[in-house]
Amino acid sequence: MTLAARRVALVTGGGRGIGRAIALALAREGCDVAVGGRTRAPLEETAAAARHLGARALPVVLDVGGPASIAGAVAETVATLGPVDVLVNNAGVAESAPLAKTGLELWERHMSVNARGPYLLTRAVLPGMLERRWGRVINVASLAGLVGSPYVTAYTASKHALVGFTRALAMEVGGKGVTVNAICPGYVATDLVWNAARNIEAKTGTSFEEAVEALAKLNPGGRLLEPAEVAAVAARLLHADATNGETLVLDGTPTP
């Protein structure tokens, strides 16, 4: 199913992994796509793939930790593609450390990227959505936004903040044509997992393959999710007028 009228989507962290998969899924659904991220080369590659699917696509260099960068990226998107109808807050950072080694810089980096960035981006595009009485804000949170785990206090707190932001804003915009939802995946086969596995390998002597397997087993379904599975949920939310304020859990468990 495609949208009756072309919408403009801005996807952060869109150069690779989950963000790339979502950007391409939205292009297939009839959206024009601004692909945001810090490194231009993968953004260009994702944008080219989206154009191949028939979408207009714009690579936008964007640091979600920087308010000026956010303002510039939104302005560039609007000037080139049009007002943002679909915002996917996907960019994120995930680092592990016991609390005693979780310094203020690490803590604030997680809050800046995982919570403050989505707040600033949403605040920038929401007025236009409300004026047009149609919009989708899709926050890529995590199972860590719903439960606790050891050694990831900063990450867990930031994702809990994103889930709380989702729920509160959904109540604020309910009935106004805009929906706000969070997708909460477990471990996904992306660079974040590969980097985590390398850290485990370096610190414990466990092999990389064994570390990946251990991370996969932390998902209730016992396997890593694929980026395309997360993207499929984002695509469905385009058409889900009645879904608002939800935390959509993806944990690798087979769907009945």
> Which one from 119, 151, 155, 187 is the annotated catalytic residue?
155
Q: Would residue 187 show up in a list of annotated catalytic residues for this protein?
A: no
How many degrees, rounded to 5, is the angle at CA 96 between CA 93 and CA 97? 135
Specify the long-range contacts of residues 74-82, CB closer than 8 Å, at least 24 apart.
74/10, 74/121, 74/124, 74/125, 76/34, 77/8, 77/10, 77/34, 80/34, 81/8, 81/32, 81/34, 81/56, 82/8, 82/32
Q: Which backbone phi and psi does 244 adopt, to 5 degrees?
A: -150, 135
Q: Do 12 and 89 touch, CB atoms closer than 8 A? A: yes
E strand residue ranges, 175-254: 178-185, 247-250
Distance separating alpha carbons of residues 8 and 114, to the nearest angstrom: 23
Q: What would the two tokens of residue 162 be?
A: 């994103």
In this structure, what is the dihedral angle of CA atoms 167, 12, 135, 116, given to the nearest 10 degrees?
A: 40
What residues are labeled active site? 155
